[in-house]
Structure 1
Amino acid sequence: MNGKRWTYALAVAALALAVGACAAQPPGVQAPAISHAELLRGDRLGISRDAAPPPVSLTAVNEDMRAFLRQHVPAGLGPTRTIELILQALLQDGLQLRYDNFRTFTAEEAFYQREGNCMSFTNLFVALAREAGVNARYQEVEIPPSWTADGDTWRYNLHINALVKLPVGEQVVDFNLEDYDRDYKRRLLSDEDALARYHNNMGVHWMEQGDHERAFLHLRSALVLRPRTAHVWTNLGTLYRRQGDLEAAEAGYLRAIALADDAAANSNLARLYAQLGEQELSAWYRDRVQLFRRRNPYYLFHLAEEAYARADYGSARNFLLTAIRKEPGEHEFYRLLGLTYLRQGNLPAAESQFELAARHADVEHQARYRNKLDLLATR
């Protein structure tokens, strides 16, 4: 499972994959008394309706940045060579930009801080590439979900990188390209889409810092730009819950479910209703979360890892076989299944799974699987 350098840009608290597009509510549940407009006004948090975060431009370029570009990237080069030199300047002999998953910066901020997450890097690259005359755009990449060690939190990840149009074809530019997989779902973003994601990230950041006013202003800005983004409503619900306004939190979560049946919202509602003593409602939403998880191959892989760790190889095998039926292109599934068969003493089956892992893996992982196969051949 890759993604060690990717930005977690979605909902806070107990998260799960949003599956399906139809809203689901238990029988007899009434619509929340709080309107969407009221959730966004800020009155319930004591925040002015007219307040807003400082204006921000993700890709603004100043004179220091232009001088840096002139120093490292001669004018008149083709787009391919231009982006090569920009990347070299950012990562090697110029800024030596450092990765920090928890810092979201604009291009200008990343330039001076010399660090940031995938969005920070992409902001800086896009800004410099456009300044150099290269057609660079934002691209959103959906990467596999991951769980915390206790299996309680599922982070549904969206990663941002850049896509450059070349005279022939296109090129992906990524902070951590070795972990990027072209098979992941991806789509182009407008600059306004990217700005909404920036505000969401900053909302989560300030929420974690305990600054509820800044968090609210950024989340509201994200929803003004993109009001039908379910995970931002989930984050807004979590902000209200942390401030003790459970009625508003419920309304935020229900809005997220109405938009996309957001499973993070389902999970948070289960906890909210348990807190309110509504055990029947809590159980209903908790069951929905388990259904979402069981449908997802990466959660099954997580269960297989847990079973393997406790030497329950039969369960690990069953989880992995189901995961592979749902997602046959993930080499890590075959790797763990090969190890499971190896623990069970079934060497031919283990060898077969390592062959399949190598077939679906990138070059670096293929070499590791070939080494494993060579070791098996000597046994």
Structure 2
Amino acid sequence: MKTPMLLALVLLLAACAGTPPSENAVIDTSAALSGAAILGQPVDTASLPDEDLLALTPEMRAYLATVAPDARPQQRLAALIRAFERREFHVEYDADSTLTATETYLQERGNCLAFTLMMVAMARQLGADAYFNQVDVPPVWGHDEAQTFVVYRHINMVSESSRGRRVVDFNLAAYDPIYDQYKLSDTAAFAQYYSNRGIELMKQDQREQAFLHLRKALALRPGDSDLWSNLGALYSRFGHQHEAEQSYRQALQLNAGNLVAISNLERLYRQSGRDELAEHYAQRARYHRERNPYYLFYQARSAYEHGEYQQAKKQLRRALWRYEDDHRFHFLMGLTNFRLGEVEDSRESFRAAFSLAENQGTKNAYLRKLEYLKRSQPGTSLEDSNPVPTINVIRQQRRFGQSDMPGW
């Protein structure tokens, strides 16, 4: 499932106006890394958390020993997946629970990263090759009640053998072969674990533990722009303006197009009365947002949900002009055209959506939507729900470069 990466937080801060800094200017991150503003003294790096994220309990090892013990590793992995589908062991999706492999198994819950940690650990115990796979799911913009800016990132497991490539995913809706994806090292996956946990602890107002986890993430991946944005979110939440500003600026030095850091610097300066700086970053944010088809799609979806169908269509046209190969854009355009009474245009949009949706699970979800509306409104072909299965296993055959994606 989607792994929530909470990448920005806005609080009232006090400062003065100033000149927009150069992105190449030297940034002193020592205060942000020391944590003294939160801990009361500089952090002792020996105190950073260091969990064995892939550890298995004796109970888990004993169970895995019974899974197709005489079969080859890939056959054993297939048997393990079937056992999960039969609920011989069970995990419920919980967006706010980034857990270790052992915790996920024992507590029977977790988000996509927690589930993937468990599956990678179990697959390797069975002798199968398994690694973390990051899927560049397009970002989703939103705010919670604490004004937290949210961007979702998605991780699943991949196991390869001479027969092909198997993707094990906790959420079919979040995975689509159309999205870019790449192998993630254990270190990078572990950094995301500590970052996720840090944000979860931050939301619980456990500021010291939150800092230690975010600091651990940066110790593992100091060049990750998003992790610096997370650290800025922590400092922002607890009113440490200087450290938040330096963290966001470091994020931008690593990735000048980090929209989260840009947006939050704008908000930080706006709330503190530094209008010149705020306007500088507001212009940069507008520049990036208006050129990002997924931000336009987010705006269109929000307009659609509020019944503003003409506005939704306007934003969808702009999104499609910039990028026309995402089936979700076309499907929402179909919904929008229908609401506007443009039935033939809606059918054309649906045909485009189905032609682009290579993932059979996505097509099935769309079909369920259409069938639901046929039942509720005879003669129509739309609806607003989106049922998805809990887990999907995808086998990709190298020889043909195609995918066989059976439902579970």
Which residue is equivalent to 2:119?
Answer: 125
**Equivalences, count:** 362
Matched letter for residue 170 of structure 1? R
Which residue is equivalent to 1:265?
Answer: 261
2:51 match: secondary structure:
coil
Deviation, 1:184, is 1.2
Change (3 A) 1:350 1:186: same
For the Cα contact (< 8 Å) 1:142–1:157, is it kept in 2?
A: no
Matched letter for residue 321 of structure 2? R
State how far apart, in whole Å, the 2-side matches of 1:308 and 1:177 are: 24
Change (3 A) 1:129 1:343: closer
Which residue is equivalent to 2:364?
Answer: 364
Deviation, 1:307, is 3.7
Deviation, 1:273, is 0.8
Change (3 A) 1:206 1:32: farther
Which residue is equivalent to 1:204?
Answer: 199
Counterpart mapping for 1:153-302 below 5 A: 155-177=150-172, 179-261=174-256, 262-302=258-298
Q: Deviations over 1:245-292 (max 9, x none)?
A: 211111111100111022111111111112221012112212222222
Which residue is equivalent to 2:32?
Answer: 39
1:221 match: secondary structure:
helix
For the Cα contact (< 8 Å) 1:139–1:188, is it kept in 2?
A: yes
Change (3 A) 1:222 1:343: closer
Give unpaired runs (5+ residues) of structure 2. Answer: 11-17, 382-408
Change (3 A) 1:99 1:148: same
For the Cα contact (< 8 Å) 1:91–1:97, is it kept in 2?
A: no
Change (3 A) 1:30 1:156: closer
Which residue is equivalent to 1:331?
Answer: 327
1:303 match: secondary structure:
helix
1:138 match: secondary structure:
strand
Higher helix fraction (1 or 2): 1
Matched letter for residue 297 of structure 1? P
Which residue is equivalent to 2:404?
Answer: none
For the Cα contact (< 8 Å) 2:8–2:148, is it kept in 1?
A: no
State how far apart, in whole Å, the 2-side matches of 1:234 and 1:197 are: 13
State how far apart, in whole Å, the 2-side matches of 1:26 and 1:91 are: 58
For the Cα contact (< 8 Å) 1:354–1:369, is it kept in 2?
A: no
For the Cα contact (< 8 Å) 1:79–1:166, is it kept in 2?
A: no
Among 96, 116, 130, the alignment partner of 2:90 is: 96
Deviation, 1:149, is 7.4
Deviation, 1:48, is 4.1
Q: Which moved more, 1:293-302 or 1:342-351?
A: 342-351
For the Cα contact (< 8 Å) 1:145–1:154, is it kept in 2?
A: no
State how far apart, in whole Å, the 2-side matches of 1:220 and 1:149 are: 24
Q: Deviations over 1:138-180 (max 9, x none)?
A: 1111112223379x86533211111101122211111123542
Give unpaired runs (5+ residues) of structure 1. Answer: 15-24
Deviation, 1:366, is 5.1
Matched letter for residue 137 of structure 1? Y
Change (3 A) 1:153 1:325: farther
Matched letter for residue 260 of structure 2? A
Which residue is equivalent to 2:392?
Answer: none
State how far apart, in whole Å, the 2-side matches of 1:247 and 1:309 are: 39
For the Cα contact (< 8 Å) 1:142–1:186, is it kept in 2?
A: yes
Among 68, 75, 78, the alignment partner of 1:74 is: 68
State how far apart, in whole Å, the 2-side matches of 1:185 and 1:149 are: 26
Matched letter for residue 97 of structure 1? V
Deviation, 1:26, is 6.5
State how far apart, in whole Å, the 2-side matches of 1:255 and 1:50 are: 22
Deviation, 1:295, is 1.4
Among 2, 5, 11, the alignment partner of 1:9 is: 5
State how far apart, in whole Å, the 2-side matches of 1:218 and 1:247 are: 20
Among 131, 142, 145, the alignment partner of 2:139 is: 145
State how far apart, in whole Å, the 2-side matches of 1:344 and 1:82 are: 52
Change (3 A) 1:314 1:275: closer
TM-score, normalised by the number of residues in structure 1: 0.86
Matched letter for residue 375 of structure 1? G
Deviation, 1:313, is 3.9
State how far apart, in whole Å, the 1-side matches of 2:80 and 2:282 are: 48
Q: Which moved more, 1:244-253 or 1:284-293?
A: 284-293
State how far apart, in whole Å, the 2-side matches of 1:207 and 1:106 are: 18
State the percentage of identical aligned residues: 36
Q: Which moved more, 1:267-276 or 1:175-184?
A: 175-184
State how far apart, in whole Å, the 1-side matches of 2:212 and 2:339 are: 53
State how far apart, in whole Å, the 1-side matches of 2:153 and 2:306 are: 31
Change (3 A) 1:182 1:79: farther
Among 297, 305, 313, the alignment partner of 1:317 is: 313
